[in-house]
Amino acid sequence: MTKRRQKDYYNNDPNYNTYDPDYDSSCDTPSRRRKKKTHRLYAFVVLVLGLVILSLAVVLLFYIQRIEVVGNEYSSDRDIIKTVQNDKYSVNSLYVYGKYALGYGETLPCLEELKIGFSLPWVLRVEVKEKQIIGFFYSGDQEYAYFDKDGLIVKKDSTYIEGVPYVEGIGVEDIKLYELIKSEKSKIFKEILEASQELKKYELETEKIVCEKDRIFLYIGQIRVSLGNNVTSEKIAQITPIIEKLEGKTGTLHLENYSEGRETITFDIEEISQEN
């Protein structure tokens, strides 16, 4: 028979001052309370074990075993990998991905873009886009110093890269990797940078770009092109069609006075020296 708690006028215990018609005292035994505690402890242990297993899975599954680098031509895989794994936690591919996704990842000054992805959970994929090389200086000790459109040295190496023009006639200070080139002739150097970019734009290859008495000359085969001290897109655009008509000839093509309003172009037949 169900026992119910009810008011006991002969018991001064305040716990008996209420009447609960649904209360069953048999359900509140010490044995049942111990079972409840056991179930809670079991659930807690299962939860902790689950978190431990999940953590171990993340650590082991995403532990970097290989890094694939794609898109680079002149920057080395080693330098890119060293930049990506620049702290003690970067052995985990998930961590590296999150770091770059949140904008905390580092990159090399010679790169325009660096993206992180996965080939497999344990194989990190690094896609890069390099800054375009537009010219180089010979820095001595059989070393070439390559620079981008802003005059930043992006590579120093003893290997010559085909199709990149050599720049001479400009005095530069100590050339250091990932630093801007400094020259006393900063104005004319800016024009040389402009000329290099326009040559890339029109896919025109030149062996070298020379500054003589603050005038810029391009050497293309047996033709020397005089651009004066002011480089424009209009001048560069004239070079290819004119040189095609001068096939087999040697001399200087004068474009220094060419502009939209003044279309003066002359060609002097002469022997062109290729000496630096």
Average pLDDT over residues 47-56: 69
Q: Does residue 269 carry a pLDDT above 90?
A: no
Residues 95 and 185 in one domain: no
What pLDDT is stored for residue 9 in this prediction? 43
The pLDDT value given to residue 126: 97
Write down the pLDDT at residue 138: 86
Lowest mean pLDDT among 28-42, 59-73, 131-145, 148-162: 28-42
**What integer pLDDT is reported at residue 35 of this predicted model?**
64
- Same domain? For 157 and 223 the reply is yes
Q: What is the pLDDT of residue 274?
A: 58
Token digits for 20? 């609960």
Q: What is the mean pLDDT of the chain?
A: 83
Domain endpoint, select from 115, 130, 145: 130
Q: State whether 143 and 250 are in the same domain.
A: yes
Say how far apart CA 97 and CA 85 lie, in whole Å. 11
Mean pLDDT of 120-144: 91
In this structure, are 111 and 180 located in the same domain?
no
Q: Which range, of 160-164, 170-174, 209-213, 232-236, averages the lowest pLDDT?
A: 170-174
Q: What total number of domains does the chain contain?
A: 3
Name the pLDDT band for 151 (thresholds 50, 70, 90): very high
By percentage, how much of the chain surpasses pLDDT 70? Answer: 78
Q: Identify which of 203, 109, 187 has the alpha carbon closest to the alpha carbon of residue 148.
A: 109
pLDDT digits (tens, 9 = 90+) for 88-118: 999 999 999 999 999 999 999 999 999 999 9
Domain boundary among the residues 107, 130, 153 is at 130
Residue 21 lies in a domain: no
Find the CATH number of the domain harbouring 254: 3.40.50
Which of 101, 130, 159 is the last residue in one of the domains? Answer: 130
pLDDT of residue 208: 92
Same domain, 158 and 45: no
122 located within any domain: yes
Range with the poorest average pLDDT among 58-62, 89-93, 182-186: 58-62
Does residue 197 share a domain with residue 215?
yes
Residue range of the domain that includes 240:
135-269
Is the same domain home to 190 and 262? Answer: yes
